[in-house]
A and B are shown apart, each in its own frame.
Chain A
Amino acid sequence: MDEKDQREKHESDRREFLTCLGSALAGGAVAVAAGSAAPEAVAATEGAAKATPPAIPGYDWTEHRWAFGVDAEQCIGCLRCVEACKIENNVPKNAHQFRTWVERYVYLEGDEHAHIDSQQDPVNIAATGSEEHFRFADRYRDEKVEKAFFVPKLCNQCTHPACVQVCPVGATYKAEDGVVLIDHDYCIGCRYCVQACPYGARYFNEEEGVSDKCTWCYHRITKGLQPACVEVCPVGARIFGDRNDKDSPVSQFIRENRVQVLRPESGNAPNVFYVGIDKEVN
């Protein structure tokens, strides 16, 4: 083989190699693009973890549409709900991470804005001296209070949950019955969902390395029980039920009251319905 032939051979070898490489890259790109339109990929947008829902005997999640009501007029700020939730759901025993919490709004005489605090406020923690038992300190004893009320908060199990939208792996997903669940065995712990939730409902469990939030006590409601916070509320400020059942407490609550949701402008369409909240509650 003379020099020219050899050069031509090298050239053709290289051209072949590059053509293969080019085809492989182009093929890969087409496969990805096509994949995004395939039914499997559409299913993937619903969250990988949803493909393997929790196996609960005798429970069909397509038969229910859970909802939650909060009657803030009734809440007395006793915080039994917060403590019950922590015990029931193994929420870390500290004053920084909660699946549910209660906010206190106090308008003092002449004030334009409310003084707002929750059980985690250092003054309230000092009142019990413990991060496991909570109570609201009597901090406005010497003030002239014009108006005051409590607002229980929890995950809104939104119809369009921002947390589900941003989860990069589909570990968090909206169950057919409306509850937003997290597959703790699949969550990578990036905390994008914590950032995305407009309501501050999510926290990151450092010990387990995963995100966590209220599930309306999914392990209880799927067995016909009430969420722990609803169960312990002494005044009926928390109402829970199935909207598919017209006679359920929550269906009645929504029907008989002029209810509102938090941050409707977010487009999240929450499923916790409030009665008796004020302009500054968000």
Chain B
Amino acid sequence: MEPLPNLAPYTGWVYPNETVFEWSVLIAVYPYLTGLVAGAFTVSSLYQVFGFKTLKPVAHLALLTSLCFMVFVPSPLLLHLGHPERAFNATLTPHWSSAMAMFGYFASAYVLLLMIEMWFAYRPFIVKEAQRRKDLLGRFYRALTLGSYDLSEHAMSYDRKWLFALAVIGIPGAHGLHGYVGFMYGSLKSREWWSSDLMPVIFLFSAIISGVALLVVLYVASCKLRKVPVDVACVKGLAYTIWGFIMIAIALEALEFANIVYKGREGIEMIMEYVTGRLLIPYFVLQFAVGAITPFLVLSYMIWRGTTGQTLVVGVTLSACLVLFSVFMMRWNVVIGGQEISKTGKGLLFYQPHIFGKEGILVGVLLTIAPIVMLLGLTKLFPPWEDAETASPSPADAQ
């Protein structure tokens, strides 16, 4: 018989069946990816719906990023399933009482919405390319026009209405998608570490900051690669967005932890032993101190001092990297941390991740990088850059 792949050493008293760790690193990657999708979409909505014109340079990039990450969201789940070929059962015969059953519908509807929104956003570019190119790629763009070549002011104003409407629908869509991921954990009564009404909201705000941070990194990196100057006002706008949301994210997480400690229900001794022991570094040091408080302080300082230019770009980019790291640690500490505290409330388990294998760290890293590779490819077909021929008919322009 094959040895079990995820045996977890333990201390104290744990149920015998708990000694096999069932949700691996991939299940931490899954909410991380959906969070990035929701966060990136938030940026696009801030521009499309709320008229934050400073974010224009990243508005299209945000949409593309959201789509690329969304495409890869199901992959960690599929790799994890015992029978991935039956995954469609959840869509064919959804068990409505399960938080997980709606995933197929939510995800498909959201991908569809993103694709339609992208079509409108890129229509002028698609039409121009379809008319200009005579090669194979020209045929591709001609097919994408869906027969609509009209770029008149009247048509564009019609497009703007659709873009606005889709962005408005997309906000609850993206946030619902991620909030429900939080609900999947928060609604389980079997684990004190997960069972919290705040969990969906915590997931949501951490998602927003992670998506905005990702766009900072992608935007600054793309400017360096393309050797064009970084739009400082745009970076500043993104920095303000992270700053505003990270305050709420930190406050929510702190409240959640305070709640667990203050209520002090059964098993609290074990939780305290865990957070002051093994979880001290991943939770308090890496997730909070390094990943959340540090960027918050750096951003606060730069906003207070009115920092601008290259210093601002470097400061915001570094803060964004820390935020990205912090949010991953949050996913890790929830998914893995939750399982490391035994359901008995009287023991602790130790997850020992594998490097290789279907559910190893390497696959987790690849799945996180894969959307960026796809994004690189998509930016060749649909350049999201402001200087490119993609000037979108955005509602923000019309206002």
A residues in contact (CB < 8 Å) with B: 7, 10-11, 13-15, 17-18, 21, 25, 32, 36, 41, 44-45, 47-48, 92-98, 101, 116-120, 153, 162, 164-171, 186-192, 194-211, 266-267, 280, 282
B93, A44: Cβ atoms closer than 8 Å: yes
B95 — nearest CB in chain A belongs to which residue?
A: A170
B344, A282: Cβ atoms closer than 8 Å: yes
**Complex formed: what's the CA distance from A216 to B116 in Å?**
52
| Count, A-B residue pairs, CB within 8 A | 180
* Chain B, interface SS category: loop
A198 in contact with B17 given A15-B158, A192-B100 (CB within 8 Å): no
In this assembly, does B226 line the interface, its C-beta being within 8 Å of a C-beta of chain A?
no
In this assembly, does B148 line the interface, its C-beta being within 8 Å of a C-beta of chain A?
yes
Residues in B whose Cβ lies below 8 Å from that of A207: 1-2
A166, B188: Cβ atoms closer than 8 Å: yes
Residues in A whose Cβ lies below 8 Å from that of B154: 11
Residues in B whose Cβ lies below 8 Å from that of A166: 97-100, 188
B86, A169: Cβ atoms closer than 8 Å: yes
In this assembly, does B83 line the interface, its C-beta being within 8 Å of a C-beta of chain A?
yes
**Binding-face segment, B18-26, B254-262, B365-373:** B18-26
A168, B94: Cβ atoms closer than 8 Å: yes
A196 in contact with B93 given A14-B155, A96-B16, A210-B83 (CB within 8 Å): no
Residues in A whose Cβ lies below 8 Å from that of B191: 195
Q: Which of B4, B84, B103, B188 contacts A168 (CB 8 A)?
A: B103
Q: Which of A94, A189, A196 contacts B82 (CB 8 A)?
A: A189
Residues in B whose Cβ lies below 8 Å from that of A266: 189-190
For residue B93, give the distance in angstroms from its CB to the closest CB of chain A. Answer: 4
A203 — nearest CB in chain B belongs to which residue?
A: B17
Within 8 A of A (CB), among B1-18: 1-2, 4-5, 7, 13-18
Would you list the 10 A-B pairs with minimal beta carbon distance, nearest first?
A189-B82, A200-B15, A209-B82, A48-B93, A168-B100, A170-B95, A116-B13, A10-B150, A120-B16, A168-B101
User: Can you show 21 pairs from A to B with CB atoms below 8 A apart?
Assistant: A7-B150, A11-B150, A15-B158, A18-B162, A44-B96, A94-B4, A95-B16, A96-B17, A166-B99, A166-B188, A168-B100, A168-B103, A169-B94, A188-B87, A188-B90, A189-B83, A189-B86, A190-B100, A199-B343, A209-B83, A282-B344
**Complex formed: what's the CA distance from A17 to B119 in Å?**
13
**Complex formed: what's the CA distance from A191 to B7 in Å?**
15
A165, B97: Cβ atoms closer than 8 Å: yes
A97, B20: Cβ atoms closer than 8 Å: yes
A206, B148: Cβ atoms closer than 8 Å: no
Report, as a range, how many residues of chain B touch the other chain.
Answer: 35 or more
A206, B98: Cβ atoms closer than 8 Å: no
For residue A186, give the distance in angstroms from its CB to the closest CB of chain B. Answer: 6
A32 in contact with B22 given A168-B90, A169-B86, A208-B82 (CB within 8 Å): no
A98, B87: Cβ atoms closer than 8 Å: no
**Complex formed: what's the CA distance from A209 to B19 in Å?**
17
In this assembly, does B276 line the interface, its C-beta being within 8 Å of a C-beta of chain A?
no
A92 — nearest CB in chain B belongs to which residue?
A: B1
Among A97, A101, A192, A211, residue most surrounded by chain B Cβ atoms (within 10 Å): A192
For residue A42, give the distance in angstroms from its CB to the closest CB of chain B. Answer: 9
A116, B346: Cβ atoms closer than 8 Å: yes
In this assembly, does B354 line the interface, its C-beta being within 8 Å of a C-beta of chain A?
no
A44 in contact with B95 given A200-B343, A207-B2, A282-B344 (CB within 8 Å): yes
Residues in B whose Cβ lies below 8 Å from that of A45: 95-97
B116, A187: Cβ atoms closer than 8 Å: no
A201, B17: Cβ atoms closer than 8 Å: yes
A99 — nearest CB in chain B belongs to which residue?
A: B17
Among B2, B80, B90, residue most surrounded by chain A Cβ atoms (within 10 Å): B90
A44 in contact with B94 given A188-B89, A206-B2 (CB within 8 Å): yes
Residues in B whose Cβ lies below 8 Å from that of A206: 2, 4-5, 82
Residues in B whose Cβ lies below 8 Å from that of A94: 1, 4
For residue B398, give the distance in angstroms from its CB to the closest CB of chain A. Answer: 18
For residue B8, give the distance in angstroms from its CB to the closest CB of chain A. Answer: 9
B93, A194: Cβ atoms closer than 8 Å: no
* Contact flags B113-155 to A (C-beta < 8 A → 1, else 0): 0001000000000000000000000000000001111101011
For residue A71, give the distance in angstroms from its CB to the closest CB of chain B. Answer: 21
For residue B347, give the distance in angstroms from its CB to the closest CB of chain A. Answer: 9
**Complex formed: what's the CA distance from A98 to B191 in Å?**
20
A188, B190: Cβ atoms closer than 8 Å: no
Q: Which of A92, A188, A202, A267 contacts B86 (CB 8 A)?
A: A188
* Contact flags B191-221 to A (C-beta < 8 A → 1, else 0): 1000000000000000000000000000000
Residues in B whose Cβ lies below 8 Å from that of A48: 89, 93, 95
A191, B23: Cβ atoms closer than 8 Å: yes
